[in-house]
């Protein structure tokens, strides 16, 4: 039991590893096959359709499959049976479901006939398909297919008996345990301890999953006696600095390459989180890998066969590297710890993005205002500014949806004012001298914001005003902090480092003593993200993404409210913090 942290320095001089992860090609008795490894929820019907091969051909080549598929089982796809004209438009198999991409002139009726599914079942699974458009992804509910035998539609399950497995080159106990949802130690025990290790070509026995919770949901494994394997993939960029990790030991870090400095601070914070979890009983091997900030460095790391052994990756920071890693290792969960657009989780169900986007912050602020100030005179500003129409509409919809849930609201919809870049327009006429006026301005246009703050300040003597804006206002030289305080400036932020919090003070003191450096946002991020995800893995097992709501932590500067926007996408963090300008400093609002 315990935690082992290993640091690997991988420089540009590393030779390139083998090719990216792909389905194996195998020749048996002169016939060529593609090897499909069955995952949870997959069916013979779905496997046949995604490979454009008739189901009866699969059964002929894999006779055991007609008795039911097992997770981790190999299904041989005869390449000479592939219907090439269907392969071009074949659906994608994702999380056990078929994903059909709509082609030009296709209709919902035509898609339903193509897969043998009632059109109402198709709409129930894809309500947005009422407005079908080219390129849209439609999920095919395989369980509802009509006319197919039950065994063809039966989803793969954990094997109730042992499975004979032929060891392939590069496979490890970790990768086999992950594939079959079985403790690697159980595999070892079932094969006499494997005194000579795993040898390519050897046939070994894979025991059935032992615990009831594993049989019910093989993706969820609470491995109390088995160690987790975690990778911290950070942009140390060692080759671009004088010496490896030297910045972790000196007070003056300014001369070091910026990605190096960020990586070291993140790593230091992560180490403190790991130490805390170690005391709680975390059982894990944690490898720290340098993936740099360019493909020449991260490619060799991601392509290493050992990456298939990992349960969780924290990092990389780069979007392209994350996408490459997600494709190479679809079984492990990958955490994007730094700000990225939501595109990083699109089509990547095994990726989490922890930094809220601008749109998430806008929606959070709108909901906060509606819930906190339902009895106030709420006014949403919609100036005619190119590029901000979508943000304004987003705030309008989010606020009205939240207001409709409030029985104490004074009106059913928020008031809208349309000021200009150099004047308040009709805003003044909509202020109420008898109520608090909460003005929402979701804009980052410097000219507009400067005018708004300057002209609203004198009105604060007559009207009670709270101005809700955006974090970027703090960086505008033309906007006075004193003026913002007069207007009770409030905004949504992704994180907040409260120096008055005793926990923060204790962390800062310990950090300085340990690393001889000051705490920055990357150190805090490293602590919060590492603690949250390792605790999720530790307490919920490999299926922790289904139980995010049950993971309880006390983060130092950011919170976590993870949500998925569809089964084909990853998770994004909708948590935000409302801050108010008070006494020339920021104060967190409860």
Q: Which pLDDT score is estimated for 529?
A: 95
Res. 477 pLDDT band, cuts 50 70 90? very high
How far is Cα 178 from Cα 209, in angstroms, rounded to an integer? 12
Same fold, 26-153 and 228-356+502-579: no
Res. 153 pLDDT band, cuts 50 70 90? confident
Q: Which pLDDT score is estimated for 226?
A: 57
Q: Which pLDDT score is estimated for 254?
A: 46
Which residue reads 């805390």 in tokens?
A: 276
Q: Which pLDDT score is estimated for 255?
A: 58
How far is Cα 132 from Cα 136, in angstroms, rounded to an integer? 7
Q: Which of 153-167, 365-379, 489-503 has the lowest mean pLDDT?
A: 153-167
How far is Cα 572 from Cα 590, in angstroms, rounded to an integer? 23
Residue extents of the structural domains in the chain: 26-153, 228-356+502-579, 360-493
Share of the chain above pLDDT 70, in %: 87
Section 296-315 average pLDDT:
88
How far is Cα 21 from Cα 35, in angstroms, rounded to an integer? 13
Phi, psi of 540 (to 5 degrees): -115, -10
Q: pLDDT, tens digit, for every residue of 52-65?
A: 998 888 888 887 77
Judge whether residue 243 has pLDDT over 80.
no
Q: Residue 466: how many CB atoms within 10 A of its CB?
A: 20
Q: Which pLDDT score is estimated for 179?
A: 63
Q: Which pLDDT score is estimated for 1?
A: 52
Judge whether residue 195 has pLDDT over 90.
no
Judge whether residue 351 has pLDDT over 90.
yes
Judge whether residue 168 has pLDDT over 90.
no
Res. 445 pLDDT band, cuts 50 70 90? very high
**Exposed/middle/buried for residue 256 (C-beta within 10 Å: 0-12, 13-18, 19+):** buried
Section 426-436 average pLDDT:
93
Q: Which pLDDT score is estimated for 307?
A: 83
Res. 15 pLDDT band, cuts 50 70 90? very low
**Per-chain mean pLDDT for the chain:** 83
Q: Which pLDDT score is estimated for 408?
A: 85
Share of the chain above pLDDT 90, in %: 33
Spelled out in words, what is the top-level CATH class assigned to the domain 26-153? alpha beta
Q: Which pLDDT score is estimated for 23?
A: 67
C-alpha of 522 from chain center: 18
Q: Which pLDDT score is estimated for 279?
A: 81
Q: pLDDT, tens digit, for every residue of 205-216?
A: 777 654 333 333
Section 431-456 average pLDDT:
94
Residue scoring higher pLDDT (228 or 269):
269
Judge whether residue 221 has pLDDT over 50.
no
Q: Which pLDDT score is estimated for 278?
A: 85
Section 426-443 average pLDDT:
93
Q: pLDDT, tens digit, for every residue of 549-578?
A: 888 888 888 999 999 877 789 999 989 999
Res. 462 pLDDT band, cuts 50 70 90? very high
Section 190-202 average pLDDT:
77
How far is Cα 516 from Cα 232, in angstroms, rounded to an integer? 22
Judge whether residue 39 has pLDDT over 70.
yes
Judge whether residue 416 has pLDDT over 70.
yes
Residue scoring higher pLDDT (367 or 283):
367
Q: Residue 576: how many CB atoms within 10 A of its CB?
A: 24
- The CATH topology of domain 228-356+502-579 is Rossmann fold (3.40.50)
Q: Which pLDDT score is estimated for 318?
A: 92
First to last CA, the chain: 40
Section 15-39 average pLDDT:
65
| Long-range Cβ contact pairs of 131-135 (< 8 A, separation 24 or more) | 132/102, 132/106, 132/107, 132/108, 133/102, 134/102, 134/103, 134/104, 134/106, 135/101, 135/102
Query: Which conformational region is residue 544 in: left (phi greater than 0), alpha (psi within -120 to 50 degrees), or beta?
Result: alpha
Q: Which pLDDT score is estimated for 434?
A: 93
Say yes or no: domain 360-493 is CATH 1.10.540.10. Answer: no
Judge whether residue 505 has pLDDT over 50.
yes
Contact assessment for residue 4 and residue 113, using Cβ atoms and an 8 Å cutoff: no
Judge whether residue 545 has pLDDT over 80.
yes
Section 513-532 average pLDDT:
92
**Structure token pair of residue 513:** 């003593």
Res. 170 pLDDT band, cuts 50 70 90? low
Q: Are strands 436-440 and 377-381 parallel, antiparallel or unpaired?
A: parallel
Contact assessment for residue 568 and residue 137, using Cβ atoms and an 8 Å cutoff: yes
Section 531-539 average pLDDT:
90
Q: Which of 168-182, 283-297, 439-453 has the lowest mean pLDDT?
A: 168-182
Q: Which pLDDT score is estimated for 76?
A: 87
How far is Cα 122 from Cα 384, in angstroms, rounded to an integer? 41
Judge whether residue 160 has pLDDT over 60.
no
Q: Enter the pTM of the model.
A: 0.64
Q: Which pLDDT score is estimated for 208?
A: 65
Q: Which pLDDT score is estimated for 248?
A: 47
Q: pLDDT, tens digit, for every residue of 114-147?
A: 888 888 888 888 888 888 888 888 898 888 888 8
Res. 169 pLDDT band, cuts 50 70 90? low
| Residue 112 DSSP SS3 | helix
Q: Which pLDDT score is estimated for 271?
A: 93
């Amino acid at each position: 039991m315990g935690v082992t942290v290993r640091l690997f320095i991988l420089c540009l001089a590393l030779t390139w590893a083998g090719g990216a992860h792909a389905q194996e090609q195998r020749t048996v008795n002169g016939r060529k096959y593609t090897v499909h490894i069955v995952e949870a929820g997959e069916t013979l019907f779905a496997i046949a359709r995604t490979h454009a091969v008739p189901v009866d051909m699969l059964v002929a080549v894999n006779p055991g499959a007609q008795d039911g598929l097992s997770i981790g089982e190999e299904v041989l796809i005869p390449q000479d049976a592939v219907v090439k004209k269907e392969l071009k438009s074949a659906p994608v198999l994702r999380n056990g479901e078929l994903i059909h991409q709509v082609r030009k002139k296709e209709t919902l009726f035509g898609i339903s006939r193509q897969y043998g599914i009632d059109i109402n079942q198709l709409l129930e699974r894809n309500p947005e398909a009422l407005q079908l458009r080219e390129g849209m992804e439609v999920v095919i509910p395989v369980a509802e297919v009509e006319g197919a035998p039950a065994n063809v539609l039966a989803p793969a399950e954990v094997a109730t008996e042992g499975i004979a497995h032929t060891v392939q080159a590069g496979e490890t106990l970790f990768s086999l345990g992950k594939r079959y949802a079985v403790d690697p130690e159980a595999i070892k025990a079932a094969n006499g301890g494997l005194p000579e290790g795993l040898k390519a070509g050897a046939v070994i026995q894979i025991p059935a999953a032992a615990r009831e919770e594993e049989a019910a949901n093989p993706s969820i494994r609470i491995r109390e006696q088995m160690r987790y394997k975690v990778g911290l993939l950070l942009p140390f960029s060692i080759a671009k600095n004088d010496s490896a990790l030297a910045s972790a030991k000196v007070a003056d870090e300014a001369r070091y390459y910026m990605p190096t400095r960020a990586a070291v601070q993140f790593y230091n914070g992560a180490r403190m989180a790991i130490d805390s979890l170690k005391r709680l009983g975390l059982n894990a091997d944690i490898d720290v890998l340098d993936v740099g900030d360019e493909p020449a460095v991260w490619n060799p790391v991601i392509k290493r066969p050992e990456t298939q052994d990992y349960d969780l990756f924290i990092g990389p920071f780069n979007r392209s590297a994350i996408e490459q890693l997600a494709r190479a290792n679809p079984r492990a969960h990958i955490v994007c710890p730094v700000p990225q657009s939501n595109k990083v989780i699109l089509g990547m169900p095994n990726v989490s993005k922890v930094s809220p986007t601008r749109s998430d912050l806008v929606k959070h602020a709108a909901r906060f205002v509606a819930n906190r100030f339902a009895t106030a005179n709420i006014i949403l500003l919609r100036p005619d500014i190119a590029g901000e129409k979508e943000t304004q509409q987003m705030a309008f919809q989010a606020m009205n949806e939240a207001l409709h849930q409030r029985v104490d609201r004074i009106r059913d919809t928020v008031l809208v004012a349309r000021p200009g870049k150099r004047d308040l327009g009709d805003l003044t006429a909509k202020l109420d001298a008898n109520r608090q006026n909460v003005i929402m301005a979701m804009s980052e246009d410097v000219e507009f914001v400067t005018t708004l703050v300057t002209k609203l300040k004198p009105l604060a003597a007559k009207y009670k005003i709270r101005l809700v804006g955006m974090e970027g206002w703090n960086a505008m030289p033309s906007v006075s902090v004193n003026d913002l305080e007069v207007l009770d400036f409030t905004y949504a932020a992704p994180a907040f480092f409260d120096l008055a919090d005793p926990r923060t003070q204790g962390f800062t003191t310990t950090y300085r003593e340990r690393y001889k450096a000051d705490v920055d946002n990357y150190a805090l991020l490293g602590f919060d993200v590492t603690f949250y995800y390792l605790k999720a893995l530790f307490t919920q097992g490999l299926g922790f993404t289904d139980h995010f709501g049950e993971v309880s932590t006390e983060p130092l500067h950011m919170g976590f409210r993870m949500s998925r926007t569809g089964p084909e996408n990853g998770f994004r963090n909708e948590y935000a913090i409302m801050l108010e300008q008070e006494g020339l400093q920021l104060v967190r609002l409860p």
